[in-house]
Amino acid sequence: MAAFASSADLTDKEQTLEILGDGVYALTAEGDPNIGAIEGEDFLVCFEAMATPVAARGWLERLRQHTAKPIRYLVLSHYHAVRVLGASAFDADVIIAHDNTRALIAERGQQDWDSEFGRMPRLFREPDSIPGLTWPTLTFSDRLTIQLGGARGELVLAYCGRGHTEGDIVAWLPKQRILFAGDLVEAQAALYTGDAFHRDWASGTLDSVAALGAQALVGGRGAVAHGQDAVDAAIAQTRDFLRTMLAQVGAVHEAGGTLKDAFGATHQALEPRYGRWPIFEHCMPFNVSRLWDELSGVERPVIWTAERDREVWDQLQG
């Protein structure tokens, strides 16, 4: 049987810091979760917090080679543990997320922590350094704008609809045309859709992301997309992945097949194009299971627990 999720992936990835514009930073890591920062005139906005404070400190040390400004805002794109549990290392004045993200942390934050720790243990560097769940201190429903000061323009935090989760937000720099898309867009990495709303994500939500007209896009995982063509390709890839899933799982569901049949058909359809991309095998059982529920009328994703993770894995990858 294949090793559970990413539990056998124990090799550290190389981290690359890119400066995308004046005071705009992205750290990518060969398919590990991406992270970013944006300078205001006299403060910093950080985007995503990594899985533990110790992991986050490594990023902050690199960022501190470029700027000593204090961190006023920490923006969390969504509730997943590998993106939020390092928050205490930032010592930010304000932690921002979507209203639904705060509700999801209250509802399932602890289960998600346990689940993700089991799935991706390498990302949890020194897990005992996590002081507890991360609680946003400022939330919003539609849009929140931060004035960066000077000639830096503004940073727009926007909700584009349900997608990778029920509460994803993007961080958009309209003047620089740079977008931090969180897990709503993946460039050369597989999608995780275990907590997703596939039909909304593949249609209106991605339409809203595309309508921003970014010239550079930092997705949730994978390389930075530079230029209109690369941005379009990243969004198109994300949509194609979702549409392929919808077509394959939908056909088996409609024909009265089983979840296992749906997994086989979807895996076969996606594997030629996406099979070698980071976390593909890890994600597929959870992805197909959630879409099967969605098509069966289960409105909100069922909470993943460490136990449920293993059951679904054994059923589909076993």
Q: Are 248 and 273 in contact (CB under 8 A)?
A: no
Q: Which tokens in the block code for residue 136?
A: 């946003």
Q: Toward Zn ion, which CB reaches closer, 130 or 252?
A: 130
Could you tell me the smallest distance in angstroms from the CB atom of residue 150 to Zn ion? Answer: 33
Could you tell me the smallest distance in angstroms from the CB atom of residue 287 to Zn ion? Answer: 12
What is d(CA 169, CA 80) in angstroms, rounded to the nearest whole number?
A: 13
* Phi/psi-derived region of residue 256, left when phi > 0, alpha when psi is between -120 and 50, beta in every other case: left
Q: Which of 116, 183, 294, 309 binds Zn ion (CB under 5 A)?
A: 183
Could you tell me the smallest distance in angstroms from the CB atom of residue 194 to Zn ion? Answer: 9
What is d(CA 50, CA 235) in angstroms, rounded to the nearest whole number?
A: 23
| Residue 32 lies near Zn ion (rule: CB under 5 A) | no
Q: Toward Zn ion, which CB reaches closer, 183 or 186?
A: 183
Residues 68-107 that bind Zn ion (CB under 5 A): 80
Instruction: Mark 262-291 with x for binding to Zn ion (rule: CB under 5 A) and - for no binding.
Output: ------------------------------
C-alpha distances out from residue 39 to 48, 63, 170, 297, 304, Å: 15, 11, 17, 44, 36
Q: Find the part of the chain contacting Zn ion (CB under 5 A) among 15-23, 24-32, 42-50, 179-187.
A: 179-187
Could you tell me the smallest distance in angstroms from the CB atom of residue 161 to Zn ion? Answer: 16
Measure the CA angle with vertex 211, ends 77 and 48; round to 5°: 15
Q: For residue 65, which phi and psi values (nearest 5 degrees)?
A: -75, -15
Residues 120-159 that bind Zn ion (CB under 5 A): none
Q: Toward Zn ion, which CB reaches closer, 107 or 154?
A: 107
Burial of 264 (0-12, 13-18, 19+ CB in 10 A): middle
Could you tell me the smallest distance in angstroms from the CB atom of residue 85 to Zn ion? Answer: 12
Which stretches of the chain bind Zn ion, using CB under 5 A?
Answer: 80, 183
